[in-house]
Structure 1
Amino acid sequence: MASLSIPRSAARSLSRAAPAFRSKAPRVATRWLHQRSSPITPSPAQHRPSPQQWRQKVSLPAAAVGRRTMFIQTESTPNPDALKFNPNQRVLPESIPSSFLEYLSPRSTLAPPHPSPLAAELFNVDGVTSIFFGADYITVTKDSATPWAHVKPEVFALINQFMTSGQTIVNTVEDKAGESGQGGTEVDSLAYDENDDEVVGMIKELLETRVRPAIQEDGGDIEFRGFHDGQVLLKLRGACRTCDSSTVTLKNGIESMLMHYIEEVKGVHQVLDQEEEIALTEFAKFEEKLRQQKGSAPPSTVGKGSLDTVE
């Protein structure tokens, strides 16, 4: 039988048109002619890189590695002009017998017995009027004309700087002249005293266990100033000192509770310092002057009987 010869171009076209005729056996590429036959394998450079080969090492500067940061939480108080800062660490040294220190002027931050570099820096912030240090919190009070948006960032930065750098918050110096520049430098007024009678001891216990935790939660504290003729003399500190609801707190809260448990208590009276009494007196005079000026003020230019009225 004669052999059938198919041109090479026709055979190539036939193989493309009919892929089903291709061999199903695995194909191994080999080298021809004078080279030794060996399968073609991928080169090492074509392997998929592992993540470890491309891991980037970032070197931080020494200053960034040694830097410390902390979380300071802020809490609002019933007083809109007072804000409580919680640095989550102790603020007052344990050597101070009182549970708080209050600075009411820049001069008090430098006076003995407990000057405070932090309080002095905080008073440099525009609008700040008083600084209150609790055992583990700081209450900052501002004037009503300055918004918190201007005060809060600077106060936050100063507290964070002192806490993270380990700077001294409160110092203790000898008070040779008997000058007390801060409020609360004496022994805790609610501490137990063996010389107290039964009624005073019960009053202190109720104030310590029932009243003080709530007032400290609001960024303030309370002082016991005495018990005379059925009247309990108290002094509010911190955010509660200038709060509009302080009278409500004393009368509806503290007074009602003490009168309920102790029949000898007839009322609660708030004690004011000399500076506060002077300020209240001057404010009352100012209000009276405004009231008199308003009563004798000329009629407005708008209205009946004025030049702007056409009849």
Structure 2
Amino acid sequence: MASTTLPRSAARSLPRAVPSVRSQASRVATRCLHQNASPITASPLRNRPGVRQWNQRVPMPAISVGRRTMFIQTESTPNPDALKFNPNQRVLPESISSPFLEYLTPRSTLAPPHPSPLAAKLLNIDGVTSVFFGVDYVTVTKDSATPWAHVKPEIFAIINEFMLSGQIIVNTVEDKAGESGQEGTEQDSLAYDENDSEVVGMIKELLETRVRPAIQEDGGDIEFRGFHDGQVLLKLRGACRTCDSSTVTLKNGIESMLMHYIEEVQGVQQVMDQEEEIAMKEFAKFEEKLRQQKGPDAAPSAVGKGSLDTVEG
């Protein structure tokens, strides 16, 4: 019997031309599995497992709700005994024409025309001597013997409570007896007045645009008390009122600028209230006593009645 011999080239192409049975079977099986797949349906209700109610009571952990706080920025001032608190919202009501209010005694916080519950609480803190309200900040001044670490947390807490609760910071009541308990309740002393002379108008403009912003930045303000015989009468408020550097501010700063731009100005004097005048006299006596103890050649202090021209208010 004659055997048929395939050429080598034909033998190599044979597996490619004839697919294997295994590959066909897998394709058929795959196709059949896809065609015969049944959709997934929900099981009958009777075959579902029952749900038993859990009766054990689990004690809920106690949740402590803390008090809300707000961001109050604190700024130091040239006066080491005064701090400026910025609550980032308006402090003085818009109905008050004055740019500031200053409370120097607990009685002033209750007297008309602008009693203040916030100032009353702050002045009730041991060591706090005065409270100053700017348009959007509060300046608190303490005595030199009280450290800030003792009073600053309580000041923060009181201001935070008033701002968050929406309590009235400053009230306005009728002043029937003419008793003004606060400083700065009248009209803004630097406001334009048609009755002012040309020189006074120029002085007010320079104070308003060049001086007041810097003093407000330091937690205080300035009042114009008049212009007489070439002398500009001014009153510093807030942190600048009891600051040792107020002498430099008035003489080297404000006086030099006013004399440079206005030739009619010959000097600047600070108006002193009666309490401040008494304090200055007591300080002068204390300096004189120290000078006698140290000897006649001792240099006088930079702060004192003789270091700044003053007039009684």
C-alpha distance after superposition, 1:203-233 (max 9, x if no partner): 0000000000000000000000000111100
The DSSP-based 3-state class of the residue aligned with 1:271 is strand
Q: 1:20 maps to which residue?
A: none
The DSSP-based 3-state class of the residue aligned with 2:272 is coil
Q: 1:244 maps to which residue?
A: 244
> Are positions 1:174 and 2:165 aligned together?
no
Aligned residue runs from structure 1 range 166-245, under 5 A? 166-245=166-245
Aligned residue runs from structure 1 range 43-122, under 5 A? 64=65, 68-122=68-122
Shift of 1:290: 5.3
Q: C-alpha separation between the residues in 2 aligned to 1:189 and 1:59?
A: 60
Percent of residue pairs bearing the same amino acid type: 88
Q: C-alpha separation between the residues in 2 aligned to 1:283 and 1:106?
A: 24
Q: C-alpha separation between the residues in 2 aligned to 1:174 and 1:60?
A: 50
Q: C-alpha separation between the residues in 2 aligned to 1:266 and 1:157?
A: 47
The DSSP-based 3-state class of the residue aligned with 1:237 is strand
Q: Following superposition, which runs of at least 4 residues in structure 1 exceed 3 angstroms of deviation?
A: 58-61, 286-295
Q: C-alpha separation between the residues in 2 aligned to 1:128 and 1:152?
A: 10
Q: 1:280 maps to which residue?
A: 280
> Are positions 1:262 and 2:262 aligned together?
yes
Q: C-alpha separation between the residues in 2 aligned to 1:191 and 1:64?
A: 48
Q: C-alpha separation between the residues in 2 aligned to 1:291 and 1:238?
A: 31
C-alpha distance after superposition, 1:94-139 (max 9, x if no partner): 1111000001111111111111100110011111000000000000
Structure 2 length-normalised TM: 0.72
Q: 1:41 maps to which residue?
A: none
**Which runs of 5 or more structure 1 residues have no equivalent in the other structure?**
1-57, 296-311
Q: C-alpha separation between the residues in 1 aligned to 2:277 and 2:266?
A: 24
> Are positions 1:123 and 2:134 aligned together?
no
User: Structure 1: which amino acid aligns with 2:108?
Assistant: S
| CA RMSD between the two structures | 2.0
The DSSP-based 3-state class of the residue aligned with 2:250 is helix
Shift of 1:274: 1.3
Q: C-alpha separation between the residues in 1 aligned to 2:192 and 2:243?
A: 29
Shift of 1:70: 1.6
The DSSP-based 3-state class of the residue aligned with 1:105 is coil
Q: C-alpha separation between the residues in 2 aligned to 1:59 and 1:176?
A: 58
Q: C-alpha separation between the residues in 1 aligned to 2:292 and 2:61?
A: 73
User: Structure 1: which amino acid aligns with 2:106?
Assistant: P
Q: 2:162 maps to which residue?
A: 162
Shift of 1:291: 5.0
Q: C-alpha separation between the residues in 1 aligned to 2:168 and 2:62?
A: 29
C-alpha distance after superposition, 1:22-42 (max 9, x if no partner): xxxxxxxxxxxxxxxxxxxxx
Shift of 1:289: 4.5
Q: 2:40 maps to which residue?
A: none
User: Structure 1: which amino acid aligns with 2:261?
Assistant: Y
User: Structure 2: which amino acid aligns with 1:89?
Assistant: Q
User: Structure 2: which amino acid aligns with 1:241?
Assistant: R
Q: C-alpha separation between the residues in 2 aligned to 1:200 and 1:90?
A: 31
Q: C-alpha separation between the residues in 2 aligned to 1:184 and 1:260?
A: 29
C-alpha distance after superposition, 1:143-190 (max 9, x if no partner): 111111111100000000000000111111111111111100000000
Q: C-alpha separation between the residues in 2 aligned to 1:292 and 1:110?
A: 44
